Structure 1
Amino acid sequence: MWVLTIVGLAALIAVDFFIGRKPHDVSIKEAGIWTIVWITLAGLFGLGLLFFGGGQPSGEFFAGFITEKSLSVDNLFVFVLIMAKFSVPSQYQQRVLLIGVLIALVLRAVFIAAGAAIIASFSWVFYLFGAFLIWTAWKLIQEARSESEDEEFEENKLLKAAERRFGVADRYHGTKLWIQENGKRVMTPMLVVMLAIGTTDVLFAVDSIPAIFGLTQDPYIVFTANAFALMGLRQLYFLIGGLLKKLVHLSYGLSVILGFIGVKLVLQALHESGVGVPKISIPVSLGVICSVLIVTTITSLRASKKQAAAEAARGGSEGAPKDSIDV
């Protein structure tokens, strides 16, 4: 099953790559079609689990997929910063995101394997995962309340080390990743930005991987939920790029989801230790996650609309001539 799944994902990725291999600006229509395709494929996979494995693995997959999808939307804010930092031409952004997401998927697979091995050996790790998610939720709320408009992307140490070791060309050379410059082989900015997106995603995996392990301990479901969530992320970037700024309450919603899963993990650990506490079922988890996302989206759009109206009214009053005001 693992082999068939990986081969199937590789085939889908190859089709996606060859269809969009020519650098071009991605239209809303194209992004919308591919977003629907990846969500449909995830839905069919979940139904396949329902048919062959029953309701439990299917419910765990859908809960994990929705959780990872919602958490990965937060990645898009950072992707926007990275694209701006490296001044990536619009026609190359699709290629950058595809390779960057593939790097992220490989790194997440390593995280998932390590997490599964730790859980299999040390059941008490659920206490740590739960506490970490609750702490992350609180930290996310604090960051949302003090969020700055002038946020900029900062390169991680691995990326800086690679730039010092190999050097970086001063401009883009199409989709080339390496070039010869003054007799030396150097990286192009295209490769640097791909590495930036792939390695930066590891920071998000630190909380998203424990979160999905709070919904299922099956490494297969954890991996496939992450794979489908990440592979549709590239199209989502182009589809809702302009909507991201309007999701002003997203961080609050994600913090509620992380906190909820953290509590679920702690309760599960206590239950397995023999303490008489209730367990939170997958249907309840799925309902809470979906409800939080719906409420967060609605409140975000309303808040953005009110803010836009207030700014328009303020701009109109400031632009009015002074002698037209009656005293």
Structure 2
Amino acid sequence: MISSAISVLSMASGSGHVDLDVQPWHWLFLLCLVTILLLIDLLVIHRRAHVIGLREAIVESVVWIAVGLSFAIFIAWQFGSAATGEYFGSYLMEKSLSVDNVFIWAMLFMHFQIPRQFQHRVLFWGIFGALVLRSGFIFGGLAVIEIFEPSILIMGIFLVYTALKLSFNREEEENLNPSDTRTMRLFHRFIPSTDEIHGQALVVRDRQRGLLATPLLAVLVLVELTDIVFAVDSVPAVLSVTSEQFLALSSNVFAILGLRALYFLLADVNARFKYLQAGIGVILAFVGAKMIVLYFWDWHVTTLVSLSVIVGILTLSIVASYVANRRPS
């Protein structure tokens, strides 16, 4: 059970948090390691746009999890078992709380009809931005997080509204022209942009209008905004496990880096099962309701309950799709 594992690992140091002697070279090592991993991902593995299939998504998921767990060896070597316990606790906390992000990404890509082969580039820069934002939240502390607290209510209402649209207007959503959406019209009003997708480019140069943003940049902006909202909830949870900024940031980094592969697992499965989109709509409604309840009543749905609901809805959607596909037409 994830919640039990978090509790056990976070108590590894006893009743209080560990106090580490973090040197500048520790931060430099973390920065260099993450930079190298991101460069390999961008310039080698995903240099060319392609649809990420199920097998590739599984392999990447395993690799990113292995990287995150391997960093625990470095933590143990430098700081001991108590710090390792807090790192694992923070890692599991962030990993489980970040699952909600994956379904928001799915909703955004469906809404803007971004081809699957170009989605990785959006998420790459989205994750890069998320790492920068999380760093600011962790170093800034709770005072910075409280500034963005009202965004929880706004996002919750928006998710419930989106879930209802997915559930009751599915044909309309499938036939939607992204350029006709309110979001894109608002984006066009403030940022010179084009409705056309130009490969993986976030911006293109037009001879008459100059630099123009593509729909991929519009989605990227929304990905960053949603991460700010979720960070308001997840960063305080991680800081409750460890007060050490090095452990909090490193666990956040390695948990977030693996989210893209998890998304592409979902995207591949979504293409195979007809009722999974409806299931995603229900999950979005659940996540939105969770955020509304948190804002008004300060009541947290436990990580175990949240993950159980998500896994249960996904399982029912897949089983229903499988049964429907086996029925004779």
Alignment TM-score, normalising by the size of structure 1: 0.67
Quickly say closer, same or farther: Cα 1:90–1:220, change in 2 above 3 A.
Answer: same
Quickly say closer, same or farther: Cα 1:22–1:207, change in 2 above 3 A.
Answer: same
Same amino acid, percent of matched pairs: 28
Which one has a bigger Cα radius of gyration?
1
1:105 is matched with 131
1:7 is matched with 32
- The answer to whether the Cα contact below 8 Å between 1:21 and 1:95 also exists between their aligned partners in 2 is no
- The answer to whether the Cα contact below 8 Å between 2:96 and 2:307 also exists between their aligned partners in 1 is no
Partner Cα separation in structure 2 for residue 97 and residue 236 of structure 1: 12
- The answer to whether the Cα contact below 8 Å between 1:166 and 1:187 also exists between their aligned partners in 2 is yes
Residue by residue, what CA displacement relative to the aligned partner does 1:71-122 show, whole Å, maximum 9, x if unpaired? 2111111111111222212211111111111112211211111117x59xxx
Letter in 2 for 1:2: W
RMSD over equivalenced CA pairs, Å: 4.1
Verify: 1:46 aligned to 2:62, yes or no: no
Quickly say closer, same or farther: Cα 1:31–1:52, change in 2 above 3 A.
Answer: same
- The answer to whether the Cα contact below 8 Å between 1:96 and 1:193 also exists between their aligned partners in 2 is yes
Quickly say closer, same or farther: Cα 1:57–1:24, change in 2 above 3 A.
Answer: same
2:227 is matched with 201
Where 1:172 maps in the other structure, the secondary structure is: coil
Equivalences for 1:160-171 in 2 at 5 Å? 163-171=188-196
What stretches of structure 1 of length at least 5 have no aligned partner? 120-124, 265-287, 320-327
- The answer to whether the Cα contact below 8 Å between 1:168 and 1:188 also exists between their aligned partners in 2 is yes
- The answer to whether the Cα contact below 8 Å between 1:249 and 1:299 also exists between their aligned partners in 2 is no
Where 1:67 maps in the other structure, the secondary structure is: helix
Quickly say closer, same or farther: Cα 1:263–1:62, change in 2 above 3 A.
Answer: farther
Letter in 1 for 2:104: V
Letter in 2 for 1:3: L
Residue by residue, what CA displacement relative to the aligned partner does 1:289-314 show, whole Å, maximum 9, x if unpaired? 5x65775566446654776699799x
Equivalences for 1:140-179 in 2 at 5 Å? 148=164, 150=166, 163-176=188-201, 177-179=203-205
Equivalences for 1:5-84 in 2 at 5 Å? 5-18=30-43, 19-84=45-110
How many pairs does the alignment contain?
Answer: 271
What stretches of structure 2 of length at least 5 have no aligned partner? 1-25, 168-172, 271-275
Partner Cα separation in structure 2 for residue 213 and residue 173 of structure 1: 41
Partner Cα separation in structure 2 for residue 190 and residue 308 of structure 1: 30
Partner Cα separation in structure 1 for residue 95 and residue 36 of structure 2: 21
Partner Cα separation in structure 1 for residue 117 and residue 193 of structure 2: 21
2:246 is matched with 220
